[in-house]
Amino acid sequence: MQISTWNQAVSGDPVAMYRMGWYHQNGVGAQRSYTKCVRWYELAAEKGNDDAVQALGDVYWSTRDLSYEDSYALLEKYCAKG
């Protein structure tokens, strides 16, 4: 993980937030942590990052034992925010 990405993420950049989630999900440059990846993806999704919305749905479905319907409902929640 690059320090500049971290600085951008904490400053509110949704693309950097998505990257932070990806780093934590995949253990690249950061310790693998699904809790942290979900947190960063949620922050990015709240700011309208579509990649984060998709990644968040994927993570919830694959790691949190959510059904397809629950994962879809989560994606709908973020998509409804526009």
- Whole-model pTM? 0.80
Please report the pLDDT score of residue 65 as a whole number. Answer: 59
Task: Note the pLDDT tens digit of each residue in 28-80.
Answer: 998 998 889 989 999 999 898 989 988 988 887 777 655 677 777 777 777 77
SS3 call for 64:
coil
> What kind of fold does domain 3-80 have according to CATH?
1.25.40
SS3 of residue 16 by DSSP: helix
pLDDT at 18 over 90: yes
Please give the Cα distance from 35 to 56 (Å, whole number).
11
Domain map of the chain by residue range?
3-80
